[in-house]
Every structure is written in C-alpha cells, then in structure tokens.
C-alpha cells in the first residue's frame, strides 16, 4: 500500500470519531479514495532522486494494463494541496500565505499590485495580480491555479476594506464600492471555483468576515452591512454545496493589529465629515485606541487570524464560524441582546467619551 493510501486508511479507521450520518458525501469520498488508491497502487512509484510519494513520470502517463492515460484523479494523491488567497499585500493575507507555506501547501498569493507581494514569491508562493472587482481577472486566477496545481483545494476570500462613517456621510457610490469588494468579490471567486471543487468532490471556501458581521456599531453601517451580507451568503452557500464535499466557513476577527485602521481613516477624510456627528467620530477614535489596529489591548495579531484559517482549511469537519479575539466573542453574544439594551449601551458610550 502506498504512503498516501496508508494515510487515507488511517483516517478511515478513525472515522468513528466523527458523526458522518449527516455527511454521506464525505463518507462516500473517503471510501472512493481507498478504492482508487488500491487500484492505482501499481501505477505509482517513487523517483530515486525525489521525495517519497513522487509519481514516476512514465508511470503517470500510462495505465497499469492497456497503456491508457491515467486521469488527474490519480495526481490528487501525490500533489501538494493548493490554496488561492486574495488580499495578500499586508496583514491577515500575508500572514495566511506564510502559514500555508509552513503547512507545505502550494500557495497562490494575490494582490492588486504584485509588487507588494514580491517577497512572498521569493518565499515560495506563486504570486500574481488579482483585483476581485474584475470578473476577467477572477476567472483567469482560478484557471491558473487549476492549470498549475491540478486542482483548487481551498479558496480564502480575504481581500476587503472598511468604509467607515455615519450613514449620512457615506456616498452611495462609496457604499457600492464597499459591497463590490467585500461581497461581490467573494461571490465572483466562489462562482469561479465551485465547478472545479464539485468535479473534485472536495474543497474549502473560507470567507474572512468580521465581528461587525454579527453586530453593528454606530459609524460602521456600510462596512457592517457588507459583512452581514457576506455572512448570510456564506450560510446559504454552505447548505447548498455540502453534498458535493465542499465546506464553507467564516472567519470572524475582532480588531486586528494591522494597518487596516489607516485605510479606514483614508476612506472618509475630515473634509467630508458632517459636524453634527463629531461625537460619533470621537467615539470611533477612542475605540481604535482601545481595541483597534494600533496595538490596542484587545487587538489580535494577523497570525492569530491566520491560525484560525489554517484550522478551518485542515479540520475534517470545520465549524461554520471561527470567532478570533475577545471582542469577536462579545459579538457572538451581543447580537442576542434586545435592541433597546444595545441602544442604551451606545448612548452610554457616547456620554463616556
């Protein structure tokens, strides 16, 4: 039995750890893996100069008996797993790319400007430009992963930004741009990746949301609205694709110690701020100092979020959501508070500031 087959058999032997009665597709996938590995065993070999488990090129191209080509299914058991990550120029995306490299994945790291991720290519990633608002770039990105890696095992929708400010101060065009990146972008990528994942019989889609995708705060209506939409879309998608062996999870960080808050300030300069909301902007500033992206006491590190993404990508049956950080845990419970109680909390915060 090959190394890959032995590993899969060990997983199957431990299958009683998981309740697969409500996941028949996963059970079928495990059984079919064992069957295919057993029949492919004579086709596989190891290159004398290569690592254990490398398929000999001659054997890869001819079948055991009749010399017919062996399909891509057999390659799945010897190749590295592949992951496509958006928004890798800094923060969570960059940390996530590095974390997948350490786990020995084939990493496709993207950003709008590939010069921002040149060092990730030096580290071992395949890098290229990807603007998630460009449908043609999205389609080419997914096809490139499949062409190079043979499959797309995991999609991490991380690219995003925060359009902050009171609803009155946010122009409709800015609101549209917020949704184009934070909602329509992940939607475009999921649509491009899913046909391949269905054909593979397996895949992971990981959407990076936020605590504000669970509970809204004054001054975050546009950003929170986009993350609420992403969470709702993820819930529907998870139920729709489970039978195909595809898992969908949502990562929900609280404040993260990145340059994200600098971008937030750029999205609504002081010249565009309505004086009537001065106290609200002051609250926002104080909240950034307490928990935001300036090293506040409640801020998580990008590596903390990357660890949750790795767990989501590798756990046999990942949960639907991964809250990251103490304020994210607050969001899980705050959304169940009665509306008058939440509103009273906002009023108290305004008085304190």
In this prediction, residue 249 has a pLDDT band, given cuts at 50, 70 and 90, of very high
Q: Cα angle vertex 7, ends 4, 9, to 5°?
A: 110
For residue 300, the model assigns a pLDDT of 85
User: Which of 46-55, 71-80, 211-220, 235-244 is predicted least confidently?
Assistant: 46-55
Query: Does CATH place domain 82-352 in 3.40.50.720?
Result: yes
> Above 80 in pLDDT, residue 84?
yes
CA distances in angstroms from 108 to 101, 112, 132, listed in the order given: 10, 13, 14
* Residue 67, phi then psi, degrees to nearest 5: 75, 15
Query: DSSP secondary structure string, 216-276?
Result: --TT-HHHHHHHHHHHHHHHHHHHHHGGGTEEEEEEEE-SBSSTHHHHHHHHS-GGG--GG
100-140 pLDDT, tens digit per residue, is 999 999 999 999 999 999 999 999 999 999 999 999 999 99
From the list 18, 77, 223, 346, the catalytic residue is: 223
Distance CA 35, CA 8 (A): 11
Tokens of 13: 């032997």
Q: Which of 189, 188, 185, 213 is nearest to 203 (CA)?
A: 189
* Residue 151 φ/ψ, nearest 5 degrees: -170, 165
pTM of the model: 0.74
DSSP-derived 3-state class of residue 85: strand
How is the chain split into domains, by residue range? 3-75, 82-352
The one-character DSSP state at 300 is: B
Q: Which two tokens stand for residue 239?
A: 């139920």
Separation CA 187–CA 189 (nearest Å): 5
223 is catalytic: yes
């Amino acid at each position: 039995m090959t190394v890959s087959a032995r590993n899969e058999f060990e997983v199957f032997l431990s299958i009683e750890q998981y309740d697969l009665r409500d996941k028949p597709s996963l059970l079928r996938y495990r059984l079919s893996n064992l069957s295919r590995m057993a029949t492919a065993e004579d086709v596989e070999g190891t290159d004398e100069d290569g690592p254990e488990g490398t398929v000999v090129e001659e054997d890869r191209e001819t079948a055991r008996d009749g010399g017919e080509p062996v399909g891509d299914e057999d390659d799945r058991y010897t190749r590295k797993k592949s992951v496509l990550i958006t928004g890798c120029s800094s923060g969570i995306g960059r940390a996530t790319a590095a974390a997948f490299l350490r786990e020995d994945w084939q990493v496709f790291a993207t950003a709008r400007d590939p010069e921002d991720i040149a060092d990730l290519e030096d580290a071992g990633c395949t890098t290229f430009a990807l603007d998630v608002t460009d449908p043609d770039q999205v389609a080419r990105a997914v096809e490139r992963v499949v062409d190079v890696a043979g499959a797309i095992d995991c999609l991490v929708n991380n690219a995003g930004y925060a359009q902050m400010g009171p609803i009155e101060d946010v122009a409709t065009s800015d609101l549209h741009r917020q949704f184009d990146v934070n909602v329509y972008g992940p939607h475009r990528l999921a649509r491009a990746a899913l046909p391949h994942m269905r054909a593979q019989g397996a895949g992971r889609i990981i959407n990076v949301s936020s605590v504000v995708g669970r509970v809204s705060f004054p001054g975050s209506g546009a950003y929170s609205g986009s993350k609420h939409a992403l969470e709702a879309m993820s819930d529907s998608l998870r139920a729709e694709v489970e039978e195909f062996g595809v898992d969908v999870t949502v990562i929900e960080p609280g404040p993260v110690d990145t340059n994200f808050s600098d971008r937030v300030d750029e999205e609504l300069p002081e010249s565009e701020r309505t004086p009537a909301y001065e106290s609200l902007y002051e609250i926002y500033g104080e909240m950034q100092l307490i928990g935001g992206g300036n090293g506040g006491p409640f801020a998580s590190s990008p590596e903390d979020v990357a660890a949750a993404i790795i767990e989501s990508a590798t756990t046999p049956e990942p949960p639907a959501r991964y809250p990251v950080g103490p304020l994210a845990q607050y969001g899980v419970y705050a959304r169940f508070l009665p509306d008058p109680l939440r509103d009273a909390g906002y009023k108290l915060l305004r008085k304190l500031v």
